[in-house]
Chains A and B, each alone.
Chain A
Amino acid sequence: MAIPERPRHDVAELEDLAYELRRKLLLLCGTYEGAVHIGGDLSAADIFTALYHYGLRVDPTDITNPERDRFVLSKGHAAVCMYITMSMRGFFSYEGIVDTYGQLDSAYGMHPCKVQLPGVECSTGSLGHGLPLAVGMAMSARGRGEDHRVFCLLGDGETGEGSVWEAAQIARSNELGNLVAVVDRNRQLMTSFAEERVVFEPYPDKWAAFGWNVVQVDGHDMASLVQAIDGLPAPDSRRPTVIIAETIKGKGVDFMERNLAWHAGSLGKDDLERALAALDAGREKELV
C-alpha cells in the first residue's frame, strides 16, 4: 500500500515545529532526573524536524509499510530527540515518553531499542554501527527493486569509527543512490572540540574522496535543509549522498551552546526556567 501523501509544511511551519521540539526536549530534561544528551539533541533538532516533517515518506499508522523511507539513528544517544520528533509526527505520545523515559521497563530508553519500541527502525547506540545497517537496508531495497530511500543520521564525532568508512566504501561500490547520510557536524566530541584532539578537516573532501555526493548546509537553517532534501538525487541514481549539516551543539540555549559541560546533563527547576527563557529569547530574535 502506498504511503499516503500529505500536505508538506512550509519553512515557517517547520521552524515552529523545531521550536516546539526543543521546548519539549528541555521540559523532559527538566523533569527527568537522569542525564539527557541534550547538547547533541539540540544540535540535531532542526535536522530531525526537516526529516520527519518534510523529507521522510513514512506513515505512523503503518510502521511496517515496505514502501516507507527507512531512518537509522546512528548517533543513538539522540534517541529522545527522535522519540519526541516522532511523537509530534504521530508515532508515539509525548506524555508516554515524558512519563516513562529511562525508567524500568520503559520502551523509551537512552538509546533506541527495536525490540522494546517497534516504531523505530533498529537498535543503535554503539557509535559507528548505523551506516552499515543503513547500507544493508539500501541493498535490500535495491535487491527488491523498491524506490524508497534510507536515511542515516550520524554525529561527526562518531565518524572517527573505522566501520563508518567501511560502510561508505561499500555504499559507493554498490552504487547506492538510495542512501542518504546526514552528518550532524556540531564540531564537538564528548570531551573535546573537533580539531583540538582529532583533526576532521578537510571533512567534506573525505566523503568526496570516498565517491559520495556531498551537500553542505547550515543545519539550523530550515530553508537550507529543505533545499538539500528537495535536491536529493533520485533513489535509482548511482552515488550515495551525504548532507553535512553544520550545527552548534546545544543550539537554542545560550549557556549550553558550544559548552563541553552540556554533552549530557540534567536541568533542575531553576535551570529549566533559564533554558526555556533562553530558547524563547533566541526564538524572538529569529522571528524579528
Chain B
Amino acid sequence: MPVTFTFGEMLSARSVIGSTLAELGAQYPNLWVLTPDIGATLVEFRDTYPERFLDVGLAEQACVGVAAGLAYDGNIPVVSGMLPFLSMRALEQIRSDVCYPNLPVKIIGTHGGLVGNGGSTHYAVEDLSLMCSLTNMTVTSIGDPVMVGEILRQSMEMTGPIYIRLAVGKKDMVLYEPGQHDIKIGKGIVARDGTDVTLFTHGTTVAQALEAAQELKADGVSVRVVDMFTLKPIDADLIRRCAEETGGRFVVLEDHLAYGGLASRIADVVADSGISLTSFERLGIPQVYAGFGEDEQLRNKHGYGLSHTVAALRRAVAK
C-alpha cells in the first residue's frame, strides 16, 4: 500500500522503505532485497517476492558479498540493515566486492548518528567518513521520510553503488511538501532561504536546523538552511553560491563526527576552490564514545543541540 503523508506529520521512514521496495519490486524483476536479520519492515516485499528476498541472519560480511554476487549477474540488490554494522563490519566487502567493480548495490540502513539509545556499539558516527572515502560510492543521508522513497526510486537507474543513511526511521517529521523541491541525488536542497548565514546539515538534524532558523527569524536574522543530503558527490556549485549569497558565513551541523563528515566535505570544497569565508563553524559529535541517552539529550550533551545551533548562528552573524 502506498504511504500517505502530510507536511509536518510524523512518519516512519522504515515504512516508506518497505512500501517503496514493494512498489519497485513490481517494476524491476531483477530487484533483490537482502538483510542481516533486520527485516521487520521488509515484510511486504518478502511476502510478495519471496524468491528475491534473502535474510542471511547475522552475517553482514557475507550479506554484502552475496549482494555483489547477485549484482555481477545483472541484479539490483538492496541491502537493508543497521549501519554501524554494515558500514564497519562489512566495510571491506563494500569496498572490494562492491565499489571496486562498481556494482549497483544499494546499502540502506538506520542508526546513523547518536540515535536509538543503544550506546556506542549501535551508533554509526564514522560511517559517512568511511563511505565518502570509497571510490565509486555515492553517499546520502536522508532526514525527510518521504524523500527516502524518492531517493530509492532515483537510485534504481544508477550503475554504481549508493549508501543511504537514516536515523532510527521509526518516527520522522515530514519536512517538505510534495513537489516543493526538486529532489535530485547530487544536488543540495535549499530547505529554507536566507541571506545572512548558511546552515548546512543532513539527515536527522535538518528538522533541528529549521527550528533554529525559525528561532533566529524573531531577531531579524535570515538563516539559509541547506539540506545537503548527498555528501558525495558534493554539490560544490551550491556551496559557492551560498558563500556569495550569505556573506561567506557557514555553519555546519551534523549527527556524525564533526571531523570527517559533511563539514569536512564542505571545508575541502572551500579550500580547493579558494572560496573566501567570513566564518566557518562545525557542530557535530566530538571524539568521544557518547554514552546512553535519548537522541535530543545526547545532542545537547555533546554540543550540537538546538541551543548550540542557535548560538553558533549568532556567532556567525556577529562576524
Contact = CB atoms under 8 A, between A and B. Distances in A.
Interface of A: 70, 72, 113-115, 121-123, 125-126, 128-129, 131-143, 162-163, 166-167, 169-170, 173-174
B72 A129 contact: no
Contacts of A134: 69
A231 to B, nearest CB: 25
A140 B70 contact: yes
Given A140-B75, A167-B59, 17 more contacts: A70-B73, A122-B68, A126-B96, A129-B92, A129-B96, A132-B97, A134-B69, A136-B67, A136-B68, A139-B54, A140-B73, A141-B73, A163-B59, A166-B61, A169-B57, A169-B59, A170-B56
A128 B64 CA distance: 13
B92 A115 contact: no
Given A115-B102, A126-B92, A170-B66, A133 B72 contact: yes
Contacts of A142: 51
B277 interface: no
Given A114-B101, A132-B66, A143-B52, A137 B72 contact: yes
Contact of A125 (B57, B73, B74, B96): B96
A170 to B, nearest CB: 5
Nearest to A144: B73
Given A169-B57, A169-B59, A170-B56, A135 B101 contact: no
B78 to A, nearest CB: 13
Given A115-B101, A129-B93, A136 B72 contact: yes
B71 interface: yes
Interface range for B: 20 to 34
A122 B101 contact: yes
A174 B96 contact: no
A115 B100 CA distance: 8
A145 to B, nearest CB: 9
B69 A137 contact: yes
B62 interface: yes
Contacts of B77: 136
Contacts of A70: 73
Contacts of A162: 61
Contact of B69 (A125, A126, A140, A169): A140
Given A137-B73, A170-B59, A170-B62, A132 B68 contact: yes
A139 B56 contact: no
7 contacts: A72-B69, A139-B70, A141-B73, A143-B51, A143-B75, A169-B57, A170-B56
A136 B51 contact: no
Contact of A122 (B56, B66, B72): B72
A132 B101 contact: no
Interface in B57-114: 57, 59, 61-75, 77, 92-93, 96-97, 100-102
Contact of A136 (B52, B69, B92, B100): B69
Contact of B65 (A115, A136, A174): A136
A129 B101 CA distance: 13
A137 B66 CA distance: 8
A245 B51 CA distance: 33
B93 A132 contact: yes
Which of A70, A123, A141, A166 has the largest count of B CB atoms less than 10 A from its CB? Answer: A166
A125 B65 CA distance: 13
Given A123-B100, A139-B54, A143-B51, A133 B59 contact: no
B68 to A, nearest CB: 6
Ordered nearest first, which 5 A-B pairs have the shortest CB separation?
A136-B69, A132-B65, A166-B62, A166-B59, A140-B73
A133 B73 CA distance: 10
A125 B93 CA distance: 12
A174 B52 CA distance: 12
Given A166-B59, A169-B59, A136 B70 contact: yes
A169 B56 CA distance: 9
